[in-house]
Amino acid sequence: MLVVPAAGVAAPSEGEGGPPAPQLTFEPGSYDFGLQQVNRGGEAGLQLRNDGEVAAPVNLLELVGPGTNVFWINGSGTSCYGAILQPGESCWVQIGFNPNDTNVYTAQLRVSTEGTDFTAGLSGEGGRSEIGPAVDPTNFGAAVVGSAGVTRAIEVTNRGNYPGAAFIAVIAGGAIGSFHLLDENCTGVPLGPEASCTLLVNFQPLSSGVKTARLGLFGDSEGGGQVTLTGIGVDALAQAQESSKQASAGTAALEPRRKHRSKPRRNQSLRHYRRSARLDRGSVAGPLVRPIR
């Protein structure tokens, strides 16, 4: 029965006095690339050493497993292809890792010699920064043309799993004359995951109507972001006329209420009627004359 050894473990000899089995060892036995920026990645070197008693030809060197699309063998940095390692000799394998998404990846580096396989585990994770505001777009509401406008503080946060930074923040497109970046603390500041910075933006419309612009945070590769800005410009004369109309409508609404209050109450009218009746009876009867005794 043939027994296939695990990584770095030699198969037993086929019989008493048979030739010893080859023994190859990867150093390190596994390698974790850790968190690497998406579409960037990195490289690492692994040593393959003959720890056995007989020569071991490298018949096959390959990557296997689910993550073979993001790991590769760098041929220019690898000396193991076609090598015949004598006992104690070593060669090098250069492995690259370039993640294409924010996932955890695994694979195996496998070498085959004389029908026996030896492997080393490979792993790594893709990282990306995601810089942006909590709410998008940022609405500045209405502002009168020619006024001081509306100013808002916009907080942006890195909600990714990798540090990112913006090397410049500018109003990049749209109604760029109606929006002004007054101050910010984002340029050149590395933002780790969940870290924030703030931009102070003023909306001062040049004309009436809906205005939209984009505030760009241009970064290094994955380090940028974008904020949509929107607001409504209101004509000053139209605003004054609308305010006058609202004031007039409020005054007219109060008039009926005032007239209603000026009417006498029913009880007051009844008392006035009774008093007038007594005066009328006195004028008909004439003055009261006492008899002479």
Helix/strand number for the chain, H first, E second: 2, 18
Which tokens belong to 81? Answer: 């292809």
At residue 284 the predicted structure's pLDDT band, cuts being 50, 70 and 90, is: very low
Q: How many Cβ atoms from other residues are within 10 Å of residue 3's Cβ?
A: 9
| H helix runs in 187-235, sequence order | none
Please confirm whether the linkage preceding 28 is cis (ω < 30° from 0).
yes
What's the pLDDT tens digit per position in 163-172? 988 888 999 8
Single-letter amino acid code for the residue at 139: N
Which tokens belong to 59? Answer: 């018949």
What's the pLDDT tens digit per position in 229-263? 999 999 988 766 666 676 666 655 555 555 545 55
Task: Compute CA distances 134 → 131, 157, 170, 226, 238, whole Å.
Answer: 10, 7, 19, 12, 34
Which tokens belong to 77? Answer: 């940095």
- Give all domains of the chain, ordered by start, each with its CATH number: 24-127 (2.60.40.10), 131-236 (2.60.40.10)
**pLDDT at site 135:** 87
Closest CA to 151 of 169, 135, 138: 138
Single-letter amino acid code for the residue at 159: R
